[in-house]
Chain A
């Protein structure tokens, strides 16, 4: 029943996205220029939303923390830094193409993610034993835990934010304007390539996570328990981290930073169908897609002259939804 009602909500959200703000334009010529733009935008929105939802679930499982989202890996701030470097420091390369900006953002995200992993790896190196002549590796392991990578990610995200602020100080007015607009986030798509790419990445990522669902459920019992059951924990965590980084990097490169979706989607999805990773993933992907579609449609419908950026509306809608969940579960939080 839950899945049936959910499907109806998804269909309504997709139709609203296709038909907003004027129904007649789409109904008269669905495959005309404007109709195609709307189809591309809706596909972009759906794919980006589901991708962020799946990455959000992946982050909560990876970090074993209900408040984790992909920003903790430093990917989001890395992509903004990449975009800022491209716009401010490489104006010669910038011939007003969005592809260059997307590529810079993607590269920035992956570079920062690699940096976070490297720092985490260095911190995880075995310590020197205090006992002379102790056997090799005896009692000298690093302290592997998920909190450290969260802290490393936060530190490097902060560093990226500071670098972005410094770049903004030396930026021209038009560059500042472009960056500001980009950081609002938008699902607008002028070519078929973007929604197609996002759809492929989104489907691949969801299939990957679903194929690992039993291992993800066992990982929820704790790293040690999963390891003794024979789950290849280190490899699994590496695969999840890489999948999240690639997913969020693609999404941010194409749509700009979309806030809150990857945090809200998993919470709402989990509250509806529970936290068994297979159902949780699918539900979170759909909830996040609906959240993005609703925010985008509302942003276009609210006024004929101004479009409210989707990233801003997802934050507003997401915060309200999360607060209403907390109010609903207040007895459990006491």
Chain B
């Protein structure tokens, strides 16, 4: 029941070209899989297709929690699909201050921005010192920390298993925060996590926990 299974996956470019086929994986709650492939193989397209589930980039069959879905999802079936926590490779940098973004996410997830769960995440990623700064003026690494904190706040707000999709989460992070993030990902045990990365060794996972996209890997 708690296994997420994807099979007969095909990846399509927006122009209608097939990027990859016969994609399949199976993972239990708490498992982490790395999505690997050369530049342009379609790692981000794969995560993007899973995140939106209805954009047509990914056609596949998905089983989880006793349900079956065919991607791209029809509108009426979107409600049952597992909730997604998605870190895109390039996220908009708004002119909002960090505390305003955190407040919006917390309100949307029906949490208080001052709650212990939120403050714990902020402390781990040292966001306290950035709260009054505008996202627009943060450095690449600082903004990545904020983006990761948003994901963990979203996960802390709900007990439902999420499909956690992280596209190059380590980009811009220094060694300290890389290890903080790797610890956090390994310690979570109630979500399915897919990470697209060029640095698979940073996570110290076994090789069979990788999904390979493209042939030249």
Contact = CB atoms under 8 A, between A and B. Distances in A.
A32 interface: no
A275 B18 contact: no
Contact of B154 (A138, A222, A229, A231): A229
B84 A228 contact: yes
Given A131-B16, A217-B104, A225-B86, A139 B96 contact: no
B17 A130 contact: yes
B101 interface: yes
Interface string A134-155: 1101111101000000000000
Contact of B12 (A138, A229, A270): A138
Given A214-B104, A217-B100, A225-B92, A130 B15 contact: yes
Contacts of B13: 139
A160 to B, nearest CB: 31
A31 B95 CA distance: 45
Given A139-B17, A141-B14, A143-B14, A276 B55 contact: no
A126 B15 CA distance: 9
Given A218-B105, A224-B88, A275 B94 contact: yes
A215 B105 CA distance: 9
A221 interface: yes
Contacts of A140: 12, 16, 56
Given A214-B104, A218-B108, A224 B86 contact: yes
B91 A141 contact: no
Nearest to B50: A228
B108 A127 contact: no
Given A131-B18, A135-B59, A137-B72, A221 B92 contact: yes
A229 B101 CA distance: 13
A228 B57 contact: no
Given A224-B48, A225-B86, A134 B12 contact: yes
A274 interface: yes
Contacts of B34: none
B154 A139 contact: no
A224 B59 CA distance: 19
Given A225-B88, A229-B154, A214 B16 contact: no
B124 interface: no
A141 B97 contact: no
Given A134-B16, A143-B14, A214-B108, A274 B97 contact: yes
B107 interface: yes
Interface residues of A, number: 35
Contacts of B105: 218, 229
A139 B15 contact: yes
Interface in A244-283: 270, 274-276
Contacts of A227: 52
Contact of A274 (B56, B57, B91, B96): B96
A129 B196 CA distance: 27
A107 B13 CA distance: 41
A229 to B, nearest CB: 6
B83 interface: yes
A161 interface: no
Nearest to B55: A141
B168 interface: no
B118 interface: no
A225 B166 CA distance: 12
Contacts of B96: 217, 220, 274-276
A270 B51 contact: no
A128 B16 contact: yes
Nearest to B49: A139
Contacts of B86: 224-225, 228
Nearest to A228: B86
B88 A130 contact: no
A143 B13 CA distance: 11
A315 interface: no
A145 to B, nearest CB: 11
Contacts of B17: 130-131, 139
Contact of A222 (B18, B56, B91, B97): B91
A221 B56 contact: no
Interface of B: 10, 12-18, 48, 51-52, 55-57, 59, 72, 83-86, 88, 91-92, 94-97, 100-101, 103-105, 107-108, 134, 137, 154
The 7 lowest CB-CB distance pairs between A and B, nearest first, are A139-B12, A220-B94, A129-B16, A217-B104, A222-B92, A228-B86, A275-B95
7 contacts: A131-B17, A135-B10, A141-B14, A217-B101, A218-B108, A224-B51, A228-B52
Given A126-B56, A129-B12, 18 more contacts: A127-B16, A130-B15, A135-B10, A138-B10, A138-B56, A138-B72, A139-B15, A214-B104, A220-B94, A220-B96, A222-B92, A225-B88, A270-B95, A274-B95, A274-B96, A275-B94, A275-B95, A275-B97
Interface of A: 64, 66, 126-131, 134-135, 137-141, 143, 214-215, 217-218, 220-222, 224-225, 227-231, 270, 274-276, 332
